[in-house]
């Protein structure tokens, strides 16, 4: 039977370690850091994790299609810069428009011209970072109350971060697990040539992936800016690699075709707990950056690919 050829990794990519890692971290933290279980800290974790989760879900969509998007961090920063710079009435449509343009450029470069996704998105990410600094050179500015309410209001008494997470998870899950688009995307990511020979169009869906990923970064940017109530042109700098680390920890194969929403949630929780734990234990922010690098190296080492190189 050929059904068990890929038995080592299912399409969800979730393995024992994907689940064990966040659980172990949770247990360790609750013993070592006394302030971990306070309501304040748990709310903090929730807030810190929300933006990362939204970006990582976008990254998941691109990764299933066989690509990767390093420009999400810059897009998040640009959103923040736009919100504090222009007329509050147009900032959200403007940010969404910018996200669409960036996604189309990324997707076209990758799907039409065949540029490697990492090179393409590194380039556009650098461009967008420059643009962001042009729009708003220094941190600061005021966020309009209507936008602030998006991350501070409590409809039905629910934490706003939970609401954002729930909507993002639901949308992404519907798209990947319950739509024809999602099915085609898994096929494309697993083997673009086979999918194309079986009648799946290639260019359109890939461009759509990058657009959705950029829009996820815009959404995360709106949430984050509304929450901290001020703009920062470098607020997203770490999100590119962080989101890749999170999805890799969640069992998503960066070569495409394998990954799931529950896996990404587990990966984001792992990274969020690791960051929060180091925070509570008083580790320097720069060593935390180094630790993220180490986690990323560990996570990609778990996924043996067939090819050597980029």
Instruction: Summarize as ranges the residues that interact with another protein (CB under 8 A).
Output: 105, 109, 113-116, 118-120, 122-134, 137, 241, 244, 248, 254, 284, 286-294, 296-297, 300-301, 303-310
19 or 123: CB nearest another protein = 123
User: How far are the Cα atoms of 74, 178, 200, 214, 256 from residue 68, in angstroms, in the given order?
Assistant: 14, 23, 20, 12, 9
| Shortest separation between residue 108's beta carbon and another protein, angstroms | 9
State in angstroms the smallest separation of the CB of 110 from another protein. 10
Q: Of 27 and 203, which CB lies nearer to another protein in the complex structure?
A: 203
Give me the least distance between CB of 146 and another protein, in Å please: 29
Long-range contact list for 241-245, CB < 8 A, 24+ apart? 241/70, 241/73, 241/292, 241/293, 241/296, 242/52, 242/55, 242/271, 242/292, 243/52, 243/55, 243/56, 243/58, 243/59, 243/72, 244/59, 244/68, 244/70, 244/296, 245/271, 245/292, 245/295, 245/296, 245/299
- C-alpha atoms less than 13 angstroms from C-alpha of 235 in its C-beta half-sphere: 33
- The answer to whether 204 and 108 are in contact (CB under 8 A) is no
Task: State the sign of the Cα–Cα–Cα–Cα dihedral 35, 40, 45, 48.
Answer: negative
Report the residue number, 47 or 124, with the smaller CB distance to another protein.
124
Minimum separation from the CB atom of position 292 to another protein (A): 6
Q: How far is the CB of 113 from another protein (least distance, A)?
A: 5
Q: How many CA atoms lie within 13 A of 186 on its CB side?
A: 16
Q: Is there a contact between 185 and 260 (Cβ–Cβ < 8 Å)?
A: no
CA-wise closest residue to 188 among 141, 235, 128, 256? 256
Residue nearer to another protein on the CB measure, 4 or 306: 306
Distance in Å, CB of 224 to another protein, minimum: 21
Closer CB to another protein, residue 15 or residue 116?
116
Nearest distance from C-beta of residue 295 to another protein, angstroms: 8
The sign of the CA dihedral 256, 124, 47, 83 is: negative
If the CB atoms of residues 124 and 161 are measured against another protein, the closer one turns out to be: 124
Whichever of 165 and 264 has its CB closer to another protein, that residue is: 264
> In this complex, which beta carbon is closest to another protein, that of residue 7 or of residue 284?
284
Q: Any residues with CB less than 8 A from the CB of 295 and at least 6 apart, and which?
A: 245, 249, 271, 274
DSSP state of 231: B
Least distance between another protein and beta carbon 185 (Å): 20
């Amino acid at each position: 039977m050929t059904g068990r050829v890929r038995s080592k990794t299912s399409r969800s990519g979730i393995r024992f370690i994907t689940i064990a890692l966040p659980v172990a971290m949770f247990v360790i933290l609750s013993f070592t850091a006394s302030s971990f279980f306070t309501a304040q800290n748990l709310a903090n974790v929730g807030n810190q994790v929300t933006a990362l989760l939204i970006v990582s879900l976008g990254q998941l969509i691109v990764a299933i299609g066989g690509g990767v998007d390093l420009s999400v961090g810059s897009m998040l920063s640009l959103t923040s810069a736009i919100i504090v710079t222009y007329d509050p009435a147009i900032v959200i449509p403007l940010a969404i428009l910018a996200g669409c343009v960036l996604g189309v450029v990324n997707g076209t470069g990758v799907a039409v011209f065949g540029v490697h996704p990492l090179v393409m998105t590194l380039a556009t990410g650098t461009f967008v970072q420059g643009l962001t600094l042009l729009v708003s050179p220094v941190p600061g500015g005021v966020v309009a109350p209507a936008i602030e309410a998006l991350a501070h209001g409590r409809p039905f008494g629910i934490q706003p971060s939970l609401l954002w997470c729930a909507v993002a998870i639901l949308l992404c899950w519907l798209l990947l697990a319950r739509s024809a688009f999602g099915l085609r995307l898994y096929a494309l990511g697993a083997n673009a040539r086979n999918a194309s020979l079986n009648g799946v169009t290639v260019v359109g869906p890939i461009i759509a992936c990058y657009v959705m990923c950029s829009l996820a970064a815009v959404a995360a940017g709106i949430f984050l800016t509304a929450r901290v109530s001020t703009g920062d042109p470098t607020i997203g700098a770490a999100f590119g690699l962080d989101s890749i680390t999170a999805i890799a920890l969640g069992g998503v194969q960066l070569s495409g075709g394998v990954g799931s929403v529950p896996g990404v949630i587990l990966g984001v929780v792992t990274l969020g707990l690791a960051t929060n734990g180091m925070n509570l234990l008083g580790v320097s922010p720069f060593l935390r950056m180094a630790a993220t690098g180490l986690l990323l190296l560990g996570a990609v080492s778990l996924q043996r690919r067939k090819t050597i190189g980029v």
